[in-house]
Chains A and B, each alone.
Chain A
Amino acid sequence: MTATAPEASTPLLEVSGVTKRYPGVLAVDDVSLSLETGQIIGLVGKNGAGKSTLIKIIAGAEHADEGHLRLNGEPLVLHRPHDATVAGLAFVHQDLQDVGDLSVAENVRMGLGYPRKMGLFVDWAELHRQAAEPITRLEADIDPREPVGELSVAKQRLVMIARGLAQQAQLLVLDEPSASLTDEEIEHLFAVVRRLRDDGITVVYVSHRLEEIFELTERVIVMRNGQLVADEPTASLNRSSLISHITGHEHAQTAAERRASRGVGGRPDTEVVLEVDEVSADTGVNNCSFDVRKGEILGVGGLMGSGRTEMVRAVFGADHRREGSVRVHGIEVSDKHPSESMAAGLALLPEDRKTQGNIMDFSVRHNITLASLDRHRARPRVPAPSGRSEKQATDRRIDRLSIATPSDRQLVRLLSGGNQQKVVIGKWLEQGADVLIFDEPTIGVDVDGKEEIYDIMEELAAEGKAVVFISSEFSELVGVCHRVLVLHEGRIVGELEGDAVTEPAIVEICYSQH
């Protein structure tokens, strides 16, 4: 299916018949589209659908095998990323590509050269003045002299957008720009994007968060398996139809429907496994108490910065506790080292699977057995792992968790986000923890992958594990959790159970704190 360009004057950017093959994969399959001036266009699709490759081709970072590009009606040939910059195409990647030690001004004006005094010395005043102009356009409260590395993630993204403006960009591609931003920061980002659109800049907005696509964009382009499968005005879509386009499945449930269809009710009437008693920590955790029962899925909601991650890190002993105690099966657990919590049956699946969850340059096998290596000895007294035992265990996990990997020897770095997350889960299942704390397990995971992770959590609970599930997407909590705690400024400010677990109820508690 190929979308035809809507009739207009000359479109800003035309992509015609672009195809990109990697060995064994057709990453982009005959994609044609055209982008009008001054529109906000959503680009969605699962991981591996071909979005990134398409963007890389437009950015000049990859070369298409077939097809061509036109900019303002003129053929556009990109040999390297710099050509795209010169042509007025700007890209803000999810992983920030700024230089942290340099000032905001230097980052904004990067690649444009330094203004000079007497032909030799850098004219800093002029540089700061030049950089201040695009920053002012973004209505951002940023000092051009500050080192970028000391800014918040939100401000760093704005600096990257300002760089695009400084380069006179006509097209701005934002890849997952709202990741790790607070709600307020996201609001500001949206305002910025709308203002740029009003100024005639075309914005391509890539996101897995469908709410944002509906709120912000005028048109949605959906990719699946390298093909462009839908190109429609946002107004003509609803959540369910958009998910159908993304997954290729007919059905798409809302969180409440999922909850009802799975029969998620109140917490089970079983023994308490994890007891957290008045825990405080220097990371801002303030007197938190709760417990989790066998077979229960406890959700932890709250806005970005509400202290959810900090709370579970203190519970797990990843950070030290200032006060309070943690008991597993009634036995007190010390916070000296994560190994003590693990011995007691606790597992933490950290927020960032790349920097905390996995060893990215280890194979799937070596990651999965990392927390339980001493159980794979060929001889009980010799601390040498047996490859065969490790392989058997890993193959079992690959099979049970449906980890899509060519083999147990594949490097985790080369897996998709959802599969990397499953490797982390596999590691803790292999370790045999009784309490599994999932911190934002679905970030950057596509729609199908998310559903699989919910299924895994439910299976674990059904097997008698206690599960704690942190998420910024409240709909996830509604779809899966028996009970939800809501945090604000490091405190537990609300608790919902059973039928009371609804999205509006969680949002209500979050915002009634201000």
Chain B
Amino acid sequence: MSEMATAQAPSPESGGRRQDFDLLKVISRFGVIITLLASILIFTVLNDRFIEIDGIRTSLNLASPLLMLALGLTVVLAMGDFDLSVTGIQSAAGAIVVILIVNHDWSWLLAVLVGLLFCLIAGSVNGLLVSYAGMPSFITTLATGLILIGTRYEAADGRNITGAKDLPAIYRDFGVGRPDPWLELHTPVWIAAGLAILMWLLMSKTEAGRYMYAIGGNPEAARLSGINVKALRALGFTAVGFMALFAAVTSTARTASSVADSGFSTLLGAYAAAFLGAAASKRTLFNVPGTVLGVIFLQAVDRGLILEGYSTGVRDIAKGCILLLAMAFTRIGASRQ
């Protein structure tokens, strides 16, 4: 083969590895992390309770269901799909489990298994509609999510279903639980961490994970390389359902009730976390460690503002601004390449 090809000059893009220090590049590459560290610093200066270990533990506990939802979203987002029904599945599954235990005296284990079955079916229906029937994921899951939330609402006349007396202690332990003797973290944190590790292994270390990113990169090229694009996309939605069950159990266990709530702020939080995570990664791909970072970020901001005594509205405004800031940093870098 010709020697000319190897003698070709490197492309301009590849030659820039060791050029002078470029501050803008650094900011864009680590924009999310810089914003996070800056926020932590500011909150610590404002109020030294911000870094109290007990408060951090509680915060992590509160953030666990959000992380579970965001992990599921990370899978579908990596393949280029959206799932807006995730909080709908969570809400409906939580209601099913609580109703079965409280109103029908089922054993908690059986109730959770039925909840799991429901979540897997709901996720699979999304998957079939989107991947096999070819419907656009955004509007399809918006529709199924609405149906689920509406059903949950009607099933209890729009009321919360409380079961403080009837939910067994072992079930309620999923919501807080006795802290472990080493790090003194509560049960949901450990469940969330376990799920995060599981998803990280799946997405970064397995063939399936590679194929998912290939689908996200170019579904047609993936299909022509022999990858079963339809099955994997459908499976992604099932994974969202699977994650929603854990979020449903830990959140209902903590409040000892199934709360009648549209879940939209949770949904937006989960998306914000996943997108922050992608913005924090080198090639702006959705990824599990990034999503974990995103959840911690949002929770830290929330906690800092609560300590300063700000209301929900102000906190939402602040989170929105921080999201914009982090994205702006990332965009600045991208547009300069």
Contact = CB atoms under 8 A, between A and B. Distances in A.
Contacts, number: 127
A342 interface: yes
Nearest to B223: A338
A402 B2 CA distance: 8
A23 B213 contact: no
A104 to B, nearest CB: 28
A334 to B, nearest CB: 13
Interface in A406-457: 406, 410-411, 414-416, 418-419, 427, 431, 448-449, 451-452, 455-456
A410 B225 contact: no
A383 B201 CA distance: 11
Interface residues of A, number: 54
B309 interface: no
Nearest to A363: B283
Contact of B1 (A370, A383, A384, A456): A456
Interface in A332-350: 337-339, 342, 348, 350
Given A338-B223, A359-B221, A402 B15 contact: no
B207 A374 contact: yes
A248 to B, nearest CB: 8
B214 interface: yes
Question: Which has the most chain A C-beta neighbours within 10 Å: B6, B210, B223?
Answer: B210
Contacts of B13: 414
B210 A25 contact: no
A410 B283 CA distance: 12
Contact of A359 (B15, B17, B218): B218
A370 B11 contact: no
B9 A48 contact: yes
Given A25-B10, A361-B217, A371-B226, A449 B210 contact: no
A416 B13 CA distance: 11
Given A48-B11, A401-B1, A402-B1, A356 B220 contact: yes
A53 to B, nearest CB: 8
A350 B14 CA distance: 26
Q: How large is the interface on B (under 10, 10 to 19, 20 to 34, 35 or more residues)?
A: 35 or more
Nearest to A370: B225
Contacts of B285: 361
Contact of A451 (B2, B210, B220, B283): B2
Given A318-B224, A350-B224, A373-B207, A24 B217 contact: no
B5 A418 contact: yes
A237 B1 CA distance: 27
B221 A357 contact: yes
Contacts of A318: 223-224
Contact of A410 (B14, B205, B228): B14
B320 to A, nearest CB: 29
Interface string A23-50: 1111100000000000000000000100
Contacts of A371: 225-226
Given A25-B10, A359-B214, A452-B5, A384 B221 contact: no
A426 to B, nearest CB: 12
Interface string B280-316: 0001010000000000000000000000000000000
B183 interface: no
Interface in B152-209: 205-208
Residue from A373, A374, A385, A452 whose CB has the most chain B CB atoms within 10 Å: A373
Nearest to A350: B224
Contact of B11 (A348, A355, A414, A456): A414
A362 B5 contact: no
Given A24-B10, A404-B5, A362 B15 contact: no
11 contacts: A23-B16, A24-B15, A337-B223, A339-B227, A360-B217, A384-B206, A385-B205, A385-B206, A402-B5, A451-B2, A456-B1
Interface of A: 22-27, 48, 225, 247, 316, 318, 337-339, 342, 348, 350, 355-362, 366, 370-371, 373-374, 383-385, 401-406, 410-411, 414-416, 418-419, 427, 431, 448-449, 451-452, 455-456
